[in-house]
Amino acid sequence: MPTILLPASAAAFAPRSPPNVVLNTKVDPWLTATLKRINRIKRPLNSVPQHYRCLTETLSSPSAIWTLCSIMLPKAPDAELRKDSNPLIEALFNYQLVHIEAYVVHVDMVSQNEVAFKLTPETIELLVEYHKDIWSVDTSASTWNWSEKEVQLKKLQEDFVQAANKYVYRTNSMALEGLEEDGAGELLCGRGEEVKSAIMGLFLPLLPPPPRVVDVVRTAPILPSSTGTESWWQSSLPQSMPADAWKMGPSSPSTTSSMDSSSGMWATMSLGELQLPSPAPSYSQPYTTAAYSAPQYYSASMTSAPIPQLPLPSMLAQQCSTSVGFGGFGWDRYQDYTTQYATTM
């Protein structure tokens, strides 16, 4: 995109001067019709220089002030506004209609085909006062306090003054169709909404500094001392059995014995000495065809077969521990033992 150059009168804080007008070699019919409509005195418009002279004189008039848009602004900070149940009364007492006015500084109908407007000093002053007395108070009240808040607020006001003086609105040259007598005019075709959005965009909010990131210091876990660690490991490790533990027998009878302590149990016991207890007979009700009667089930005493006494595990372990061992079992003849045991059963 080519660089667009504006005249010196469009710079910030520059005084007003006649606009810079650049016309094409052939003037558009709509421009000729507009100039004839606004001129009270009939002037010849038969050439490009005549159009140039007429347009420059019209836009250079002190009364050639354009109304770009109108904005409704509050008259006081939000805390001082009047509260009323009727919204119409609140609007009449609390708000004012501000007209954003500007003048033409540049007309280019050759390369860019555009027209540029610059805000009038009166409009700039009104916007600066509103920003300082109302906008800054409201935005300051809506943010929390920090050490550099006033400094940042003052800088925000200075930046707004610069932005308002630098603002230049550019639009298509067809906007000159809104030209009226004495050079005044008004934007048509909804262009005023563009100016309104741009003006309100100059009011930047007061942003507080981001919260500081606090580093969380995590303390290292306290490790146990060397003495505590050694005792902990020693208590958790199982103690190894002595080398000749298999030579020693149990000192007292117990329900369970290890492989090493019962090694002598199978050595002295032969397969014939092993006796398995017979299964206990189950109780069964004698069959009868007599009719059921209540005394038969509630008054008669129930008889059951005696339950044989089984040897306790401790007695069996004591007996086995003195006469049984692995020494004479003969694992190479396990098939003969299996057959003999099956015949005995």
The whole-number pLDDT of residue 33 equals: 94
Task: Say how many Å lie between the first and final Cα of the chain, rounded.
Answer: 110
pLDDT in tens, 316-325: 555 554 444 4
Integer Cα distance of 256 and 321 in angstroms: 11
Integer Cα distance of 133 and 121 in angstroms: 18
Do 188 and 124 form a contact (C-beta atoms < 8 A)?
A: no
Integer Cα distance of 6 and 22 in angstroms: 12
91-120 average pLDDT score: 94
DSSP, collapsed to helix, strand or coil, labels residue 289 as: coil
pLDDT in tens, 216-260: 667 766 666 555 555 555 555 455 555 454 445 555 554 444 454
The whole-number pLDDT of residue 135 equals: 95
Do 74 and 65 form a contact (C-beta atoms < 8 A)?
A: no
DSSP labels, 50-101: HHHHHHHHHHHSTT--EEEEEEEEESS-GGGSPP-S-HHHHHHHHEEEEEEE
The whole-number pLDDT of residue 214 equals: 67
Res. 208 pLDDT band, cuts 50 70 90: confident
Rounded-to-10 torsion of CA 307, 312, 313, 318: -140
The whole-number pLDDT of residue 255 equals: 46
The whole-number pLDDT of residue 254 equals: 46
Res. 124 pLDDT band, cuts 50 70 90: very high
Average pLDDT of the residues of the chain: 77
78-85 average pLDDT score: 90
Closest CA to 112 of 31, 67, 173: 173
Share of the chain above pLDDT 90, in %: 48
Res. 288 pLDDT band, cuts 50 70 90: low
**Is the per-residue pLDDT at 53 higher than 90?**
yes
Do 127 and 157 form a contact (C-beta atoms < 8 A)?
A: no
Closest CA to 177 of 168, 189, 169: 189
DSSP, collapsed to helix, strand or coil, labels residue 183 as: helix
The whole-number pLDDT of residue 42 equals: 83
pTM above 0.85, yes or no: no
301-308 average pLDDT score: 53
Select, from the ranges 165-169, 237-241, 338-342, the one with the highest average predicted confidence (pLDDT). 165-169
Q: What secondary structure letter does DSSP report for 179?
A: B
Res. 299 pLDDT band, cuts 50 70 90: very low
311-327 burial, b at 16+ Cβ within 10 Å, e below that, comes to: eeeeeebeebbeebbee
Integer Cα distance of 66 and 100 in angstroms: 8
The whole-number pLDDT of residue 341 equals: 47
49-78 average pLDDT score: 94
* Tokens 């050759």, located at residue: 110
Integer Cα distance of 42 and 168 in angstroms: 33
